[in-house]
Amino acid sequence: MKLSAIAAATLTAAVAVPASAEISDGKVKIGILNDQSGVYADFGGKWSFEAAKMAAEDFGGKVLDAPIEIVTADHQNKPDIASNIARQWYDREQVDSIMELTTSSVALAVQGISKSKKKINLVTGAATTELTGKQCSPYGFHWAYDTHALAVGTGGALVSQGGDSWYFLTADYAFGYSLEEQTSKFVKSKGGEVKGAVRHPLASTDYSSFLLQAQSSGAKVIGLANAGLDTANSIKQAAEFGIVAGGQRLAALLFTLAEVHGLGLDAAQGLTLTESFYWDRDDKSREFGERFFKRTGRMPNMVHAGTYSGVMQYLKAIEKAGTDATEPVAKAMHELPVDDVFARNAKVGANGRLISDVYLMEVKKPEESSRPWDYYKVLATVPGDEAYIKPADSGCELVGQ
């Protein structure tokens, strides 16, 4: 197994404080497991690790008098590598909870391991609704976004604006399938038509054949059911083929501030997308964004801010439960409301899904941006109860128990 260098931050004073008897192993240890070297390195990556450290620091560096430790590793978008790291962390390195988990196939694998070992996992970087659907876990939580919220936001907006025929360019793994399926359902429910789809391997470099198929479909909207560099490269190559100039629209179904920054406003302008966080939305988000910028040199996207929120919720739950034992902490995570820099007046559903508002965004034209990272216009707010599948309809066996 190839394991990336693991960075650790132990947030304690120089003199160790005796840990509470209610804390196992004398500390609370959280693992941030994600892609730090591949197509999603900016999407989450080391920046999510920084967000997690910020949360631990803001909490005071300890909980119930026990030090908080944050560790991280690169799963390289491979479920087998992620699974091996998760087992090593749980079995030999005293990790209490694993979070972030970019890439749906990875998140599902690690959630399965966490469930079997009765450990809490919290996903902010993966999108599939299966995490809180048929593969839900009493110890699993899903923060930030999912494919249903993206479909309701971006898909609904474009259909209402006349984009009523779609063709999908889809990443060939669980996340892409789920995003295509959810968006297709929503497009059809609004009276739209899906003309077809083509699938591409993760981390492709040449999208020409896929884009030509999408172009020849005659669909008004080409839905990019991919993420990270896959989406950015799709957009760049679509420009070379004159797809948008020819009258078709591109819908970036999962595209965040990090990818807009990497692509630049010249290429990204006019894209419609959905995020559950924007640093420049209000005073609270701006304050967090500016603190994050000072330590990273970039503004946070929804994955980074969601990771901060998830770590804070976990630490608050330990404090409320008076222990880091899994069952009472999971119960407290469900009971506690979420009102922080990421989400306002949000709640955790019985299936582990955080139900919070999401925002329909349009990427600004270069002349509309007044300063660095001023990239979005907020077109609409989609209430959490509309954005996410109702727990009772999610297929999760835990609902109603």
pLDDT computed for residue 144 by the predictor: 97
pLDDT computed for residue 227 by the predictor: 86
pTM score, two decimals? Answer: 0.89
Is residue 351 within 8 A of residue 392, CB to CB? The reply is: no
SS3 of the chain: helix, strand, coil, percent, to 5 = 40, 20, 40
Please give the class, per CATH, of domain 25-144+280-355.
Answer: alpha beta
pLDDT computed for residue 15 by the predictor: 34
Q: In the 3-class helix/strand/coil scheme, how is 113-159 assigned residue by residue?
A: HHHHCCCEEEECCCCCHHHHCCCCCCCEEECCCCHHHHHHHHHHHHH
Main-chain dihedrals φ then ψ at residue 362, nearest 5 degrees: -125, 135
Q: How far apart are CA 120 and CA 105, in angstroms?
A: 18
Given CA atoms 9, 11, 16, 19 in this order, what sign does their dihedral have?
negative
Out of 3.40.50.970, 3.40.50.2300, 3.40.50.720, 2.170.130.10, the CATH code matching 146-274 is 3.40.50.2300
pLDDT computed for residue 401 by the predictor: 64
Task: Compute mean pLDDT per 10 residues along the chain, 401 residues long, and list them.
Answer: 44 40 90 94 96 98 98 97 98 98 95 98 95 98 94 84 93 87 90 96 93 96 90 91 88 92 88 93 97 98 98 98 98 97 96 96 93 93 94 95 64
pLDDT computed for residue 119 by the predictor: 98
Is residue 251 within 8 A of residue 155, CB to CB? The reply is: yes
Q: Which tokens hold the place of 306?
A: 């969601």
Question: Among 150, 125, 146, which residue's Cα sits nearest to residue 38?
Answer: 125
How many Å separate Cα 226 from the centre of its chain? 13
pLDDT computed for residue 19 by the predictor: 41
**Residues forming CATH 3.40.50.2300 domain(s) in the chain:** 25-144+280-355, 146-274
pLDDT computed for residue 145 by the predictor: 96
pLDDT computed for residue 7 by the predictor: 46
Q: How far apart are CA 288 and CA 211, in angstroms?
A: 39
